[in-house]
Structure 1
């Protein structure tokens, strides 16, 4: 909004030229989201506690290990959702289609998570919405977003997937791009959801991935940099750096309250929305496969669940002591902070590997 209102004044007042710079607006988006999160955090935590009452927010099979967390309010991802949305609307170019696509996915998935979390609070159980209903809603939003992306993307790229480590190598999926993109968004959303099981575990890898995709969006949207790096050039994606910056700022603000011992959990409101928007940005920037590297921690957590379920159904035996993977290490005797910090280190390493694909071609 501020860009649309103030940038045109740059011709008459030199100060307003600042609003034309993507880097300036991204920095402002980071700080705005951070400050909003700090300001609304305490009040929102009090409100969530009043709504939760005696409702259980701990899975039955974890009640013994996480008994001390009983009573900690969930749905804290709402503060991230509010902070990112307001910050993005303030600092992004609101005539940019990609900004609205990403916001639609984030808010849409967030509403699904909100409904799930709200039922958990009001019905006083830990199950919430049915898995089938959540999946149908996610696929519907992902489908709308995919068709919108295909409509506004360059014709030479709207059905294509870029292959990392290779110069200008694209796989033309044709109409199969639609299910591919939907799977990326829905898969990323649920992968972050599975990772969100310990204090601070998911929010830092989300911030790392958002920072990486902020850089990727900036480079992909710049003709000079994309040509130099031999990565796809998608005009307009640079504005997504602002949303990514807002997500980083909000994530850091949320971590203030989610750091061990957590004062609030993000719930599905946060995990579904943040994972979904990361998937949407990967689809828009044509870096879906790079997301699997940068967000490799989320992939590992998801694969651990798939392997555990498949193994138990086929052989009656479990590969891990408990899935997702972070609970396996808890069962092995690792303390919660140890698991969290080591998983953060893995997320940083995978992010660096993912970013290296921009140059190693």
Structure 2
């Protein structure tokens, strides 16, 4: 919307031309979203449902009674801010209804005490499939992989299921990572920020992408603006979620965050970026999903002495405090993500 104002009214007042700068839009989008979330969240969280505790979770009793589903507030702010700051002709805006759908599914899951695993799996699949179809459409998709010279062109009937799987895993891994004050928000915000930076400076930049021999995403800057808007929203939320937390994001926040990470990974045209920027998120959350799936469907008992999500194992078995979990997970997340991204870009 603001870029439209710049195009049509920039000639009447010079400073309005700033609104045509993607960098400026990303910066003020981040700041406005962070400030709005910081102001609005405490005014509305008394209307949110209350946490009832989770079975088998470590220190679950410490969260009982706290406002839950803060994601309902900051994801709504994200969607409104995206409509304001992202160029109105950007196709990525068509993914916003699916962000709202993921938020609503998460909210009702928080409020009613939980859908069944299979119900959530089906709803997540439908949302992931819809987003993948919006991003790729009916045209062939071009992806790139480290160590593979040149780009790979995939027909829609392969590209869309591949993207659906990436997004579905991202939703569920992020959702399972929630449970320690500040951890899920910090890990996901960092992953989103890294992806946004890559989309803005590398994958969406024709000169840099050509240097690294990477297919260009012409809408990389628009995706980056969405990424930094969400980082701002999560920053405003983390102000109140820092230990000891005053409010919890719930599934209403973790599911849309996972959805956005999956969408940004698909937008990079490299599905392996889910492993590169989300390695600690996947290790923390998705490993438990694999463990349960292997035991339930194939009778394989692996990692039986390790609790999942992994942050519960660190607190229960290793005696880490919540602060130690946060700091150590963040250090691993930043170090591993930076190293892997640099290696992948150079391997090209």
TM-score of the pair, normalised by structure 2: 0.91
Q: 2:270 aligns with which of 267, 271, 287?
A: 287
Alpha-carbon contact 1:79-1:254 (below 8 Å) kept: no
C-alpha displacement at 1:167, in angstroms? 4.7
Q: 2:55 aligns with which of 56, 60, 64?
A: 60
Q: 2:330 aligns with which of 344, 351, 359?
A: 344
Structure 1 residues 240 and 309 mapped into 2: Cα distance closer, same or farther (>3 Å)?
Answer: closer
C-alpha displacement at 1:316, in angstroms? 5.7
1:36 alignment counterpart: 36
Q: In structure 1, the residue corresponding to 2:143 is in which secondary structure?
A: strand
Instruction: State the distance in 2 between where 1:7 and 1:245 align.
Output: 22
Structure 1 residues 172 and 315 mapped into 2: Cα distance closer, same or farther (>3 Å)?
Answer: closer
Instruction: State the distance in 2 between where 1:354 and 1:94 align.
Output: 34
Alpha-carbon contact 2:5-2:16 (below 8 Å) kept: no
Q: 1:119 aligns with which of 103, 106, 112?
A: 112
Confirm whether residue 250 of structure 1 aligns to residue 233 of structure 2: yes
Q: 1:238 aligns with which of 212, 218, 221?
A: 221
Confirm whether residue 331 of structure 1 aligns to residue 316 of structure 2: yes
- Structure 1: where are the runs of 5+ without partners? 121-127
Q: Mean Cα displacement is larger for which, 31-40 or 224-233?
A: 224-233
Alpha-carbon contact 2:27-2:228 (below 8 Å) kept: yes
Q: In structure 1, the residue corresponding to 2:325 is in which secondary structure?
A: helix
Structure 1 residues 105 and 230 mapped into 2: Cα distance closer, same or farther (>3 Å)?
Answer: farther
Structure 1 residues 296 and 23 mapped into 2: Cα distance closer, same or farther (>3 Å)?
Answer: same
1:292-316 CA distance string (max 9 Å, x none): 1101112112114423663697466
Alpha-carbon contact 1:160-1:172 (below 8 Å) kept: yes
C-alpha displacement at 1:14, in angstroms? 2.1
Q: 1:161 aligns with which of 143, 150, 153?
A: 143
1:124 alignment counterpart: none
Structure 1 residues 144 and 300 mapped into 2: Cα distance closer, same or farther (>3 Å)?
Answer: same
- Structure 2: where are the runs of 5+ without partners? none
Alpha-carbon contact 2:223-2:264 (below 8 Å) kept: yes
Confirm whether residue 77 of structure 1 aligns to residue 61 of structure 2: no
Q: In structure 2, the residue corresponding to 1:62 is in which secondary structure?
A: coil
1:185-264 counterparts in 2 under 5 A? Answer: 185-218=167-200, 219-264=202-247
Displacement over 6 Å in runs of 4+:
none
Confirm whether residue 107 of structure 1 aligns to residue 100 of structure 2: yes
C-alpha displacement at 1:96, in angstroms? 0.9
C-alpha displacement at 1:318, in angstroms? 5.0
Alpha-carbon contact 1:105-1:280 (below 8 Å) kept: no
TM-score of the pair, normalised by structure 1: 0.88
C-alpha displacement at 1:252, in angstroms? 0.8
Q: Mean Cα displacement is larger for which, 173-182 or 191-200?
A: 173-182
2:345 alignment counterpart: 358
Instruction: State the distance in 1 between where 2:301 and 2:262 align.
Output: 34
C-alpha displacement at 1:349, in angstroms? 1.2
Pairwise CA RMSD = 2.2
Structure 1 residues 320 and 73 mapped into 2: Cα distance closer, same or farther (>3 Å)?
Answer: farther
Instruction: State the distance in 1 between where 2:98 and 2:270 align.
Output: 17
1:305-353 CA distance string (max 9 Å, x none): 4236636974667533421111111112111211121111111112212
Alpha-carbon contact 1:98-1:237 (below 8 Å) kept: no
Alpha-carbon contact 1:209-1:294 (below 8 Å) kept: yes
Structure 1 residues 317 and 249 mapped into 2: Cα distance closer, same or farther (>3 Å)?
Answer: closer
Structure 1 residues 317 and 282 mapped into 2: Cα distance closer, same or farther (>3 Å)?
Answer: closer
C-alpha displacement at 1:12, in angstroms? 4.2
